[in-house]
Structure 1
Amino acid sequence: MSDVSEPVAHPPVTDWVNDFDHTDPQWTDDPFPIWNELRAASPVVHTERFLGCYMPTTYEAVREIANDTEHFSSRRIIVRDVRPEIARNAAPPITSDPPVHKPAKQLLLPPFTPDAMKKLEPRVRAICNELIDGFISDGKVDAAARYSKYIPVRAIAHMLGIPESDSDLFVNWIHMILELGIKDETMLLQAVQEMSAYFRTHIEERRSRPTDDLISYLMNAKDKEGQPLEEFHVLGSLRLLLIAGIDTTWSAIGSSLWHLARTPADRERLIAEPGLIPIAVEELLRAYSPVTMAREVVKETTISGCPVKAGNMVLLSFPAANRDPKMFPDADVSGR
């Protein structure tokens, strides 16, 4: 096990095909030409960084790995510099493999049905209007920092029944886990411990004063044997809802606003033809997919003709897959 007290410094990338690094500033600033270079070289590339990691570069290779639970495990879902021992399922269902995955996923479906989301719409609209009211008189805004970030933070807090005023706390935890935690294990562990303690407090409050929210829903849920969920499962699911629900949504909203700010023609077209908005949402989600996952190779196999060996991680980049021109002609052009 690596020493968790010493973050690892990464040298700059000079050979993307043989030494890619998704934490490199070049990738962060403009990943699209890098993805094109990798895809042109091979459907699967490899780096020795992160203790060994593959990256499928095509839509087909990403799809194949995502659907292969025999050779690839979801027990680790972030590519990092260390791989500590896994004692328990950290964030079900996202860190679950079959046969555990399906029942864990089914537990979370009822609160997120279309009807349930429709009931949430008035509060989300109110949140959006409140945020806009906070900057509209300025005549300009950093929409990522003051708008898109706080919509899902406050919406998820509302669903969980926790104070929306704790938003900055949630944002900091996400920063510690998904950004700093990739290279600094102590930051990740600190955030997980703080989140668990925070949710334990709210769970205890609901034991004496039950509420109609997601925390109480999970406390009352039963596993496939009809038994109450263990505390680790409840806490893991709550951490998942807070982190994954917030990070992906604010990234999707922020990227969409960034695109419309940089592409006046698309913005003006949507204003003139609002009926196109549902199609535009789908296209923006494709062009700026907010989710990059990971898998761990647990059994040697071949993907798109490339050998993949056990013991390596896989960076599963849905954004890169959705820019594959073989699947999406003119993939880099939104509004196709």
Structure 2
Amino acid sequence: MSATSDASSDLYGPVEDWADDLDHADPEYNRRAHEIWHDLREGGCPVAHSDRYGGMWAPLTHDYVKEVAYDTEHFTSQGVIVNRGRPIAPPPVGPAPPITSDPPFHQVARRLLLPPFSPKRIEAWDDDVRDLCRSLLDDMGDIEAGASVVDAAVQYAQHIPVNVIARMLGFPTTDDDYFRRCVHELIERVNEPLDDERDDGPRLDLYLDRQIEEHRANPRDDLTTFLLEAEIDGNKLSHEHVRGSMVLLLIAGIDTTWSAIGSSLWHLATHPDDLERLRNEPDLMQFAVEEFLRAYAPVTMARLVKEDHDFHGCPMKADEWVLLPFPAANRDPAFFDDAEEFVIDRAENRHAAFGLGIHRCLGSNLARLELRVAIEEFIARFPAFSLGGETRWSVGQIRGPRELPLRIDAVA
């Protein structure tokens, strides 16, 4: 059952007022997100609200998003994916450390994961990612310029980070369909009715338990073994900590990056002038990648209110959700010049695509590499392309194309 294909399956029904009944899982939200944020800010609503999910707030300006992201006194990171429940894994670890951990444990858990994602370690993946992208393009078969249509999301973008993260963790790359299903279950089905008897979920916990046991029996040079051998104060990480960090790496490293790749290709398909410049001026790529990240940032995180708190006149109650739409912050005209415009050679670009505050994405080096290489290889193979059908956008806190039909207008 897809939350994007059947709006009647939604628990709450369609949104009629985005200011007082916002729902990020309404199928219209991601499709019209930029327009919705603009209209709310212009209408004098810097913080949207909803009674859905047990209460939810959504600051829409850069200053307000930043304020919540840095405020660990009034807001906890124990829950980062808005849904109808509340996290049951107790602090300080949380269900997916370090992103669900609060200070001071957060700093310890985050520091453990920094070495595998250092610039030098990630740079070594360039050739592998490039070979993967070329293989995916080859798999599209014979392409006839002006006639062939490919799905740049399903056939290309969605395979890249899945393959890379699986290889980093030492998981079978043949399980990529399973990982995509996990993303859908955890990220997109948050506003569907809960059914205690529903057993069609992918049970990621059991899958990861099997991987952990297999790695205990057969250690090797990968991230799973790295986590199993890591220590805090001379003690090995708990099973729950290891599994939770693996959940984080899978979910945060897959949907976020494939969404960024897909959105970037969508932009180039709908802005032929930018595609031409990028094709003819390859040195622009360093600026274009950052602008793709700013203008089409995929990630919205969340916090929980620790205790009743007045936030600029908003009476937030304990255990209510606070969405942190970093993509909206990136399009705030009070912070960026020409915020609503894509400026391919934007020189100053202090975007928040990788978050703000203590949970800034530790995988940013990998995401940048995958995004850059994916775009370079796609336009090298297909120097001209345009939309070849209707784009279907995701549902939930990660925004990106789920289906992106592109007509190939030229083949290199």
TM-score, structure 2 normalization:
0.76
Name whichever of 124-133 and 20-29 sits farther off: 20-29
What do residues 217-257 of structure 1 show as CA deviations (whole Å, max 9, x unaligned)?
0000001x110000000000011101110011001111001
Note the 1:72-111 alignment, pairs <5 A.
Answer: 72-83=75-86, 85-87=88-90, 89-111=94-116
Aligned to 1:37: 39
- 2:202 pairs with 1:197: no
Deviation at 1:181, TM superposition (A): 3.8
Among all aligned residue pairs of Structure 1 and Structure 2, give the percentage whose two residues are the same amino acid. Answer: 48
Asked if the contact 2:310–2:316 (Cα under 8 Å) also holds between the matched residues in 1, the reply is yes
The answer for the alignment partner of 2:296 in structure 1 is 288
Describe the shift of the 1:86–1:182 C-alpha distance in structure 2 as closer, same or farther (beyond 3 A): farther
Task: For residue 39 of structure 1, give the secondary structure of its aligned residue in structure 2.
Answer: helix
State the Cα deviation string for residues 274-309 of structure 1 (Å, max 9, x = none): 101010000110001111011001133343454433
How much has 1:148 moved relative to structure 2?
0.5
Within 2, Cα distance between the matches of 1:230 and 1:193? 23
Measured at CA, do residues 136 and 60 of structure 1 come closer, stay the same or move farther in structure 2, by a change above 3 Å? farther
The 3 A distance-change label for structure 1 pair 304 and 327 is farther
Unmatched segments (≥5 aa) in structure 2: 1-8, 347-412
5+ residue gaps in structure 1?
1-6
- Determine whether 1:319 maps to 2:322: no
User: Which residue is 2:370 aligned to?
Assistant: none
SS in 1 for 2:153: helix
Tell me how far 1:79 sits from its aligned partner. 1.4
Moved more, 40-49 or 315-324: 40-49
CA–CA distance in structure 1, aligned partners of residues 292 and 161 of structure 2: 18
Task: State the Cα deviation string for residues 170-217 of structure 1 (Å, max 9, x = none).
Answer: 111111110124435559x96887222222222222223210000000
SS at match of 1:286: helix
Residues 81 and 44 of structure 1, relative CA distance in 2, 3 Å threshold: same
Instruction: Work out which of the residue numbers 204, 218, 224 in structure 2 matches 1:209.
Output: 218
Distance in 1 (alpha carbons) for counterparts of 2:103 and 2:200 = 28
State the match for 1:173 in structure 2: 182
**1:30 partner letter:** R
- 2:278 corresponding residue in structure 1: 270
For residue 96 of structure 1, report the CA deviation from its aligned partner.
0.5
Q: What amino acid is aligned across from residue 163 of structure 1 in structure 2? A: P
The residue type paired with residue 303 of structure 2 is R
Richer in helix (by share): 1
What is the CA distance between 1:331 and its match in structure 2?
Answer: 1.2
The reply on whether 1:58 has 2:61 as its aligned counterpart is yes
Q: Give the equivalent residue in structure 2 for 1:125.
A: 130
Following TM superposition, by how much is the alpha carbon of 1:140 offset from its aligned partner in structure 2, in angstroms?
A: 3.1
Alignment correspondent of 2:24: 22
Normalising by structure 1, what TM-score?
0.92
Residues 155/85 of structure 1: CA separation in 2 closer, same or farther (3 Å cut): closer
1-structure distance, mates of 2:280, 2:96: 43
Residue 135 (structure 1) aligns with? 140
* 1:296–1:143 CA distance, 2 compared to 1 (3 A): same
**Contact 1:81-1:183 within 8 A present in 2 as well:** no
May I ask how many residue pairs the two structures share in their alignment?
328
Letter in 1 for 2:219: P
**Per-residue Cα deviation, 1:23-57 (whole angstroms, up to 9, x for no partner):** 12221321111111222322222111111111101
| Distance change (3 Å), C-alpha of 1:185 and 1:130 | farther
1:147 to 156, 159, 172: 156
1:294-333 to 2 correspondences below 5 Å: 294-304=302-312, 306-333=314-341
Contact 1:80–1:182 at 8 Å: present in 2 too? yes
- Secondary structure in 1 aligned to 2:323? strand
Report Cα offsets for 1:122-177 as digits up to 9, x if no partner: 21111111101111523431101110110000000111111111111111111111
Q: Distance in 1 between matches of 2:138 and 2:293?
A: 26
Deviates more, 1:285-294 or 1:128-137: 128-137
CA distance in structure 2 between the partners assigned to 1:299 and 1:205 by the alignment? 42
